[in-house]
Amino acid sequence: MSLSGLYVPLITPFAADGTVALAALERLAHDVLDAGASGVVALGTTGEPSSLSPVERAQVLDLVAAVCLARDAQVLVGANDATSLGSLKATAALTLVPPFVRPGEDGVVAYFRALAASSAVPLVIYHVPYRTAQPLSVATLRRLAGIPGVIGMKLATGAIDADTVALLADPPPRFAILGGDDVLISPLLALGAHGAVLASAHVATAAFAELTRSGDAGLGLRLARLSAALFAEPNPAVVKAVLHADGRIPTPDVRLPLLPATPGVRDAALAAGLGAAGPISAGTAVVP
């Protein structure tokens, strides 16, 4: 199985009455696939899964999986425990390095070895140490890549550090490295990342998809400015505010502990993603 190109971790849109806006979610999934995404992520952190009820999570997953099945597109699903992984129907599971407990590098390897052995689908490890508080050396990243059933990693270290460079300079065979830092995606692709998982790509999806194909540095710089504006407040508040302003979702609402984007930040993101050509939709290929 090969993972490459652009994957959009879908937000969960909410209706005015607070319920999940399933029709809007379905449109978003089709929009990003129409614009060139290789696939989507359901129930990733951008989708606010911890704020969803079990019924809502099942509704989201069923809908997104059905869209991807009909479109012959890949779907990654945020899943972090043996119960979820044992019955999951998806291309792969996006599984977080255990947060907060800091089990050490040997503990992380043992954890993923056990999860992969019990999972119904392959695993893509989500390594985001500035959130999990668990750093991993390049040697440990290579150990993880060698676990049967682990097929890739969303790499989001927050910097282009020495371990990132070493990993991308000599990537493990048959192991997809997907960049997960939106602002840094252009240099990550230039160093050899196979693709990207980007919440920013809800906006100007076609441009981000083109970046994963071409690596165009000028396009990457323009998109980095857009990503910086979209991440100026906790994700996905600003993304939702922009999508709502563009008429693509019914409300900009997020659920606690997140708060809606402040008007100034929303307007700055709109300015980054809007120009003389008018609204930036999923299909717009160039960012001003």
Residue 44: its H or E element:
none
Q: For the chain, where are the E strands, in sequence order?
A: 5-9, 39-42, 74-78, 92-96, 123-127, 150-155, 176-179, 195-197
8 A C-beta contact, residue 238 and residue 203: no
8 A C-beta contact, residue 142 and residue 175: no
Could you tell me which of 205, 149, 210, 161 has the C-alpha nearest to residue 187? 161
Could you tell me which of 260, 183, 265, 264 has the C-alpha nearest to residue 232? 265
Number of H helices, E strands in the chain: 12, 8
Catalytic residue among 89, 130, 154, 240: 154
Q: Which long-range contacts does 270-274 make (Cβ < 8 Å, 24+ apart)?
A: 270/242, 270/245, 271/229, 272/225, 272/226, 272/228, 272/229, 272/230, 273/203, 273/204, 273/226, 273/229, 273/230, 273/242
8 A C-beta contact, residue 60 and residue 42: yes
Mark whether 154 is an active-site residue.
Answer: yes
Mark whether 89 is an active-site residue.
Answer: no
Say whether the peptide bond before residue 236 is cis (omega within 30 degrees of 0): yes
Q: How far is CA 48 from CA 51, 67, 75, 216, in A?
A: 6, 20, 17, 32
**Helix, strand and coil percent figures for the chain, each rounded to 5:** 45, 15, 40
Catalytic residue among 7, 111, 126, 240: 126
User: Which residues have a catalytic role annotated?
Assistant: 126, 154
